[in-house]
Structure 1
């Protein structure tokens, strides 16, 4: 299992990695396949069909917006959310779009983009088909794609192949220190006297050189921090109809009020909460965000890392501070890779334990690493972070990534800090291993009824009445 850091942390747009970033990427892939056939110039119509969770929560998760954006040739990493919203609105108004950015065709969302809410493809809950037709109505190309979590996409053949080989979406890529379990990762650390961050860093150099790797990881942190900063100053009501008020700015002001009634301990808690909520309010509004490892859980890791850099890291040298950021993110990524390999980060498969639970686990490990923990203590922190999120359902009210999703990031960040502290109070020895808790999460996710896995058919989504 040889993942890149940038298959864990992907820069994209909100509100969902599996329902927004993934479908947009799937359409991008479809366009590339058409181009390889030299068929783009013959396209007169395109039809997209969504199944399972993509259909059930697609409108609330902006899947229709993502599909239209992808058909316009936009990519998740490069799209300007504000400009793109205007372009998509124009498509809805005129019933025409610039297919792939090069050819204008008719497109009526009501008939060309179908939500099959009563059908689920057998391979995965997040399925979609895309098909292009010529002027006579003949099919030029058709393919089926699956958004498997965190913005990653496989087509039908790739998904089947991955399940035969057990390699998920990642082809075989030789790296220096391959690992498929936490046990193997710890053994590598001990054998070569390296940290988890060292292992992940050296493996990443199989994909690009040191300078490019460092720059790309710091770009990820910059995107996270920019999102956090926007969320701390942006007031208003989130879109979607629930009338959820943005709370991060008020929380942050309260935490900054040194003359207020808060004790230092509560002030620290409010800071972390304001950071986490700021990111996920931006995500809910469709802003630029980093999967960490998903959009729905995008606030946990930035909140914990921002807390560390602002209040725990005493260094003043910029390069040293960047080194600490790299250590945090590399360690977190290494832990995230284990979940991607041995379970899933898709809420449609695992429930919210696969999102908030995984991000909490990753953040706990990352924080322990920069606080000077041993590899064994880091593994323990990551295990604690997941153990106390097992069984968490994904039941977004109205299909929106707002309630309870936004607050869950605050809770996940606080749990991560506590998990890191608990692990560092001991020598790293513990009864439940990280591998065991990942397997438990996988089994629990499979046992959860589908109505509790990003369908908005159960839990809070079914019991809370809203107008």
Structure 2
């Protein structure tokens, strides 16, 4: 199956690719589909149900918040993390949300967003169902989604199985395993990065690839900077203080010892900064999950900050 680098590295928000990014994308798809089929103005009521793992840990992972934002038409790529709490407080206080950002409907965040902690849908632990009804209570639309990891969302097929539609776009160097990828490198003399760029050209030209990769780099860099600057406690009620700002200050004050292992202190700091931003619901890049979101930004931040890495190097 062909997979673009921009599918593997998705811009979104924390704290979870499967429990936050996926539910927001699913809810948004449902809301936009109502608009696309001319049903939006007829919607009088909504009902959302989360099942299994999504329900069991959903509130801690912000799944309920993600669903509400998605129903209002927000995209994980563009939603403003700094306004999430304000937006949600407004929905809870008013008991209303703007479906697809256009049509206002009554919505109670507890009664109409149900967490089925003891029930799972058959195809995957991360299941969710959305229903829209008209003023008479008649069902206008009903859809089921599964958040299968990495921010990917699929719908069930006719048999109820999670339906993954393979991308059959022809690529210059198709591969299914790491051994096949390395085989292409040995046959062509190209590094892995050049093989992957050649495959990426199946979807976009070099300029588009460069712009997209640099945008991802910029989001990663901002995430590191925010994590190093924001002090205080992480959300969740366990009173866990952010470590990155204090570590950053101590590293800046420390004299250069010339120790080659100093690099690990900086890279570790940057990874912690991203992980704390992710835990707080900040803007991160799923790479390829939110749980691993700190690794590539940490390496890139050291590369650009201490090794004068240029755009070409970042893209590689």
TM-score by length of 1: 0.65
Aligned to 1:242: 238
Does structure 1 residue 65 correspond to structure 2 residue 65? yes
Query: In the TM superposition, what whole-angstrom CA distance separates every residue of 1:161-214 from its partner, at most 9, and x where no partner exists?
Result: 876xxxx45422122211111121111112222111111101111111110110
Q: 5 Å matches for 1:22-41?
A: 22-41=22-41
Aligned to 1:257: 253
Aligned to 1:310: 305
Aligned to 1:193: 189
Q: 5 Å matches for 1:290-301?
A: 290-301=285-296
Alpha-carbon separation, structure 2, partners of 1:310 and 1:227 = 15
3-state SS of 1:286 partner: coil
Aligned to 2:80: 80
Q: 5 Å matches for 1:76-155?
A: 76-155=76-155
Aligned 8 A contact 1:51 1:120 in 2 = yes
Q: 5 Å matches for 1:28-427?
A: 28-157=28-157, 168-259=164-255, 264-265=259-260, 267-311=262-306, 313=307, 321-327=310-316
3-state SS of 2:110 partner: helix
Alpha-carbon separation, structure 2, partners of 1:119 and 1:23 = 17
Structure 1 residues 182 and 256, CA, compared in 2 at 3 Å: closer, same or farther?
same
Q: Which has the higher contact order (CA 8 A, sep 6+)?
A: 2
Structure 1 residue 270: deviation in Å? 2.2
Structure 1 residues 101 and 252, CA, compared in 2 at 3 Å: closer, same or farther?
same
Between Structure 1 and Structure 2, the one with more helix by share is: 1
Alpha-carbon separation, structure 2, partners of 1:66 and 1:255 = 36
Aligned to 1:340: none
Structure 1 residues 104 and 140, CA, compared in 2 at 3 Å: closer, same or farther?
same
Query: In the TM superposition, what whole-angstrom CA distance separates every residue of 1:377-396 from its partner, at most 9, and x where no partner exists?
Result: xxxxxxxxxxxxxxxxxxxx
For structure 1, the 5+ residue unaligned runs are 316-320, 328-467
Aligned 8 A contact 1:131 1:142 in 2 = yes
Structure 1 residue 158: deviation in Å? 9.1
Alpha-carbon separation, structure 1, partners of 2:308 and 2:77 = 33
3-state SS of 1:147 partner: strand
Alpha-carbon separation, structure 1, partners of 2:61 and 2:53 = 10
Structure 1 residues 263 and 202, CA, compared in 2 at 3 Å: closer, same or farther?
closer
TM-score by length of 2: 0.95
Moved more, 24-33 or 67-76: 24-33
Aligned 8 A contact 2:130 2:144 in 1 = yes
3-state SS of 1:264 partner: coil
Aligned 8 A contact 2:31 2:72 in 1 = no
Structure 1 residue 263: deviation in Å? 7.4
Aligned 8 A contact 1:143 1:156 in 2 = no
Alpha-carbon separation, structure 2, partners of 1:157 and 1:29 = 17
Aligned 8 A contact 1:252 1:270 in 2 = no
Alpha-carbon separation, structure 2, partners of 1:290 and 1:30 = 24
Structure 1 residues 219 and 169, CA, compared in 2 at 3 Å: closer, same or farther?
farther
For structure 2, the 5+ residue unaligned runs are none
Aligned 8 A contact 1:159 1:169 in 2 = no
Aligned 8 A contact 2:19 2:58 in 1 = yes
Structure 1 residue 29: deviation in Å? 1.1
Alpha-carbon separation, structure 2, partners of 1:93 and 1:296 = 32
Aligned length: 316
Alpha-carbon separation, structure 1, partners of 2:175 and 2:11 = 25
Structure 1 residues 270 and 155, CA, compared in 2 at 3 Å: closer, same or farther?
same
| Structure 1 runs (4+) greater than 6 angstroms displaced | 158-163
